[in-house]
Amino acid sequence: MKPDQKARSVIGAVIVGMMVLALLSYVLPGTLAAYLFPGIARVSAVEGGKLTVRSPYSISTFATGVSGARLMQMTPQGDLIVSTRSSQVHLVHADKDGDGRADRVGQLIKGLDEAHGIWLEGGQLYVAEEGKVHLYRYDGVKREATFEKTLISNLPDDGGHSTRTIKKGPDGWFYVSIGSSCNVCIEDNPWRSAIIRFKPGAVPELYAEGLRNSVGFDWHPETGEMFAVNAGRDHLGDDHPREELNQIEKGKHYGWPYAHGADNTPDTEFAKHKPKGLNIEAPAHTFTAHSTPLSIRFLKHQAQTGLNGAALVALRGSWNRSEHSGYKVVLLRWGPDGKISQEDFVTGFDHAGAVVGRPVDVFETSDGTIFISDDDADVIYKLSVAAQ
């Protein structure tokens, strides 16, 4: 066989093999397909109809190969800046060719230590590593980020929950959430299990505490109230404690490690250490235990006006529960009496017992398009409503 014929044969065999594997990923039971062919099972999650979204929305794969995709910000040019839990920040290029997918996935920043928190405002890009907050100058035309200075250099960086989220509130302050150093313990550093806030050039201040790991937070567009999701402690069984949504106010304590859940149930190990006279705030809403809520996004630009003022919460999913919980995006609505109701919005990440993805962040654009990041499948999904 001539070399060129041999090469064509090899290529043909590879193509046929990929087609067979793709077919198997559709016809095999979910769990078996995920274990035998995890990559193909995840890529086919949208195309294979495994992910479903609330009507009248449709869901599509906007970008693949976005390694460890976490938090998102959009540039004026329509590109998505996407953070990770690694050393880099991605730049997902806008869909300029009109095929419904990102034109390219590139690297914007490298060499950082868990480059998780990002906030873009004008030409200023704020990046929160595990131990620092940096300011970059961002040029959207050149698609370049240039380091300018470090704003905070003393965030806790001694392990445990190591991601940091940074957002600018409607009051002009920057807020940074910092998770606990442990599953459950008494922290030495007051910035642990807390949210701090700062203005550039000023000393940061402690804003709220008792929050074991509040990765996601946002402000209600009408009331200006701040809400944060919170992941509770482990090893108290399948159903305890329930995950939380807290209304965050300055100076308040939200329970961890002394109490948790809707009724501020005393912790079996640490309730006895609760300081005398400490008042603990009850959560505004709770989610199934261990479902891992990682983001909350209040909707502002939906054509269905009834959804504006509601919030989407990404539940990344459990790792230590006999039956999975989470693995979906839920919609929260605030009733006239202030009570919060919950309904499914995107489901199917845990399909027939097989995990095909884990949603992390939700981002809404000014035209109502919704993006969801998935750090397990390395994908950005796009939700949209067909033109009527």
Query: What phi and psi, each to the nearest 5 degrees, are found at residue 46?
Result: -80, -50
Q: What's the per-residue H, E or C state across 136-194? A: EEEECCCCEEEEEEEEECCCCCCCCCCCEEEEECCCCCEEEEECCCCCCCCCCCCCCCE
With a CB cutoff of 8 Å and minimum separation 6, the contacts of 265 are 240, 241, 259
C-alpha span between 138 and 123 (Å, rounded): 5
Angle at 161 between CA 160 and CA 164, to 5 degrees: 140
Q: Specify the higher pLDDT residue, 324 or 169.
A: 169
The answer to whether residue 26 sits within a structural domain is no
> Which of 239-243, 317-321, 372-376 has the lowest average pLDDT?
317-321
Question: Would you tell me how many other CB atoms lie within 10 Å of the CB of residue 166?
Answer: 21
CA 256 to chain centre: 21
For residues 11-27, average pLDDT = 50
pLDDT at residue 9, rounded to an integer? 63
Which range marks the domain in which residue 275 is found? 37-385
Share of the chain above pLDDT 70, in %: 88
Q: Best-predicted range by mean pLDDT among 39-43, 163-167, 234-238?
A: 163-167
The answer to whether residue 31 sits within a structural domain is no
Burial tier of 324 (Cβ tally within 10 Å: 0-12, 13-18, 19+) = middle
pLDDT at residue 242, rounded to an integer? 95
The full DSSP string for 320-383 is S-SS----EEEEEEE-TTS-EEEEEEEE-SEETTEE---EEEEEE-TTS-EEEEETTTTEEEEE
Nearest to 317 by CA among 349, 292, 353, 344: 292
For residues 309-331, average pLDDT = 94
The answer to whether residue 369 sits within a structural domain is yes
**Whole-number mean pLDDT of the chain?**
90
The answer to whether residue 43 sits within a structural domain is yes
Which residues, listed in sequence order, are joined to residue 355 by a DSSP beta bridge?
A: 350
Share of the chain above pLDDT 90, in %: 80
pLDDT at residue 74, rounded to an integer? 98
What is the total count of domains within the chain? 1
The answer to whether residue 29 sits within a structural domain is no
Instruction: For 183-198, write each residue's pLDDT tens digit.
Output: 999 999 999 999 999 9
pLDDT-based confidence at 140, cuts 50/70/90? very high
CATH code assigned at 212: 2.120.10.30
pLDDT at residue 16, rounded to an integer? 54
51, 42 Cβ separation under 8 angstroms: no
176, 155 Cβ separation under 8 angstroms: yes
212, 232 Cβ separation under 8 angstroms: yes
The answer to whether residue 7 sits within a structural domain is no
Give the DSSP H or E segment for 209.
strand 205-209
CA atoms within 13 A on the CB side of 374: 30
pLDDT at residue 262, rounded to an integer? 84
pTM for this structure?
0.89
pLDDT at residue 32, rounded to an integer? 41
126, 115 Cβ separation under 8 angstroms: no
The answer to whether residue 28 sits within a structural domain is no
pLDDT at residue 40, rounded to an integer? 45
pLDDT-based confidence at 311, cuts 50/70/90? very high
The answer to whether residue 24 sits within a structural domain is no
The C-alpha R_g of the chain, in whole angstroms, comes to: 22
Q: What is the DSSP letter of 305?
A: G
Is 90 exceeded by the pLDDT of residue 39? Answer: no
Largest CA distance in the chain: 85
Coil, helix or strand at residue 41: helix
Coil, helix or strand at residue 27: helix
Query: What phi and psi, each to the nearest 5 degrees, are found at residue 159?
Result: 95, -165
